[in-house]
């Protein structure tokens, strides 16, 4: 069966009584070049174990299985079980786990199922779960590389530069923990059903060490949250509201010690500046 042939896929889904779920953000790949490119940028070999979330009909899964030693795919929709049993019947190194990826102990799953292989993520993520899933992958601290397809708008936010409208709290969080790279865009025509938005493939490489020295990382992210919670306000006013345990004069002095314009807004600070500001707050 050709897993990128729309007619064959429709017939397959109809045969198993499957219906697309909007609430699950289901859009299945039907363009062969996309899984080819995704597998390529993951730099897979027989010593690699791949975690996929949302395999759909197995288009990407099958291509990953050709290049990697092991593929573990987590699928929430149990109605896809007979579909995947048929489409991946010849892939002996693929294991499907039916359940909610957000509730999985990913470190244990990697240890139990991948048997010492280099763990990476490669997935076409449900658009409505992009941020929670990425945060889980990053916080797990188990993956060498995270390559995912997301809505282009989300990719632009993740890879945004300080001072742009796309730049935000999640940008700082991701880039503090990873080196983020936008690789390529994917047209809506590459999916079934056809989404209304363009998608993008991004790659996150977890950092071995933080990109800047910070005394209290938890405080730094409180500063980031406060700054973006009132992003149109001047930084001092935003932090005064978001950090009530710090006197305003102390906040103002910390901003001045960083050599920042007192009229600056938080959206103009990169993660190094946030780290420096947090350090001055605790001095």
* DSSP helix/strand/coil, 88: coil
Cβ count near 115 (within 10 Å): 10
Secondary structure (DSSP) of 217-251: HHHHHHHHHHHHHTTTSBHHHHHHHH-TTS-HHHH
Question: Which domains are delineated in the chain?
Answer: 6-206 (3.40.50.150), 217-281 (1.10.8.100)
* Cα–Cα distance measured from residue 256 to residue 137, given in angstroms and rounded to the nearest whole number: 37
* DSSP helix/strand/coil, 161: coil
What average pLDDT does this structure show over 185-191?
98
pLDDT band for position 24 (cuts 50, 70, 90): confident
% of residues, the chain, pLDDT over 90 = 93
Q: How many CA atoms, within 13 angstroms, populate the side-chain half-sphere of residue 103?
A: 6
Residue 25: what pLDDT? 82
Following CA atoms 46, 48, 52, 56 in sequence, which dihedral angle do they give, to the nearest 10 degrees?
A: -10
What average pLDDT does this structure show over 259-268?
92
Instruction: Give tens-digit pLDDT for 110-140.
Output: 999 999 999 999 999 999 999 999 999 999 9
Q: How far is CA 124 from the centre of its chain?
A: 10
Residue 262: what pLDDT? 83
- For residue 51, the surrounding DSSP H or E stretch is strand 48-53
Instruction: Give tens-digit pLDDT for 57-104.
Output: 999 999 999 999 999 999 999 999 999 999 999 999 999 999 999 999
């Amino acid at each position: 069966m050709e897993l990128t042939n729309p007619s064959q896929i429709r017939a397959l889904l109809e045969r198993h009584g499957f219906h697309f779920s909007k609430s699950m953000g289901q859009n299945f790949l039907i363009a062969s070049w996309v899984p080819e490119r995704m597998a390529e940028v993951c730099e897979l070999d027989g010593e690699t174990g791949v975690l996929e979330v949302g395999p759909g009909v197995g288009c990407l899964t099958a291509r990953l299985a050709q290049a990697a030693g092991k593929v573990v795919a987590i699928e929430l929709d149990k109605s896809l079980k007979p579909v995947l049993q048929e489409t991946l019947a010849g892939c002996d190194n693929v294991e499907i786990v039916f359940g909610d990826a957000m509730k999985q102990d990913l470190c244990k799953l990697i240890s139990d199922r991948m048997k010492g292989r280099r763990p990476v993520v490669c997935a076409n993520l449900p658009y409505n779960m992009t941020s929670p899933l990425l945060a889980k992958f990053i916080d797990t601290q188990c993956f060498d590389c995270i390559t995912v397809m997301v809505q282009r708008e989300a990719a632009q936010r993740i890879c945004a530069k300080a001072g742009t409208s796309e730049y935000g709290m999640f940008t700082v969080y991701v880039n503090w923990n990873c080196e983020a790279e936008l690789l390529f865009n994917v047209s809506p025509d590459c999916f079934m059903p056809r989404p209304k938005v363009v998608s993008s493939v991004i790659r996150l490489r977890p950092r071995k060490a933080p990109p800047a020295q910070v005394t209290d990382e938890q405080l730094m992210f409180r500063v980031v949250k406060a700054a973006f919670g009132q992003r149109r306000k001047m930084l001092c006013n935003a932090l005064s509201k978001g950090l009530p345990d710090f006197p305003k004069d102390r906040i103002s002095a910390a901003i001045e010690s960083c050599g920042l314009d007192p009229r600056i807004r938080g959206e103009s600070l990169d993660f190094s500046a946030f780290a420096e500001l947090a350090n001055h707050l605790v001095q």
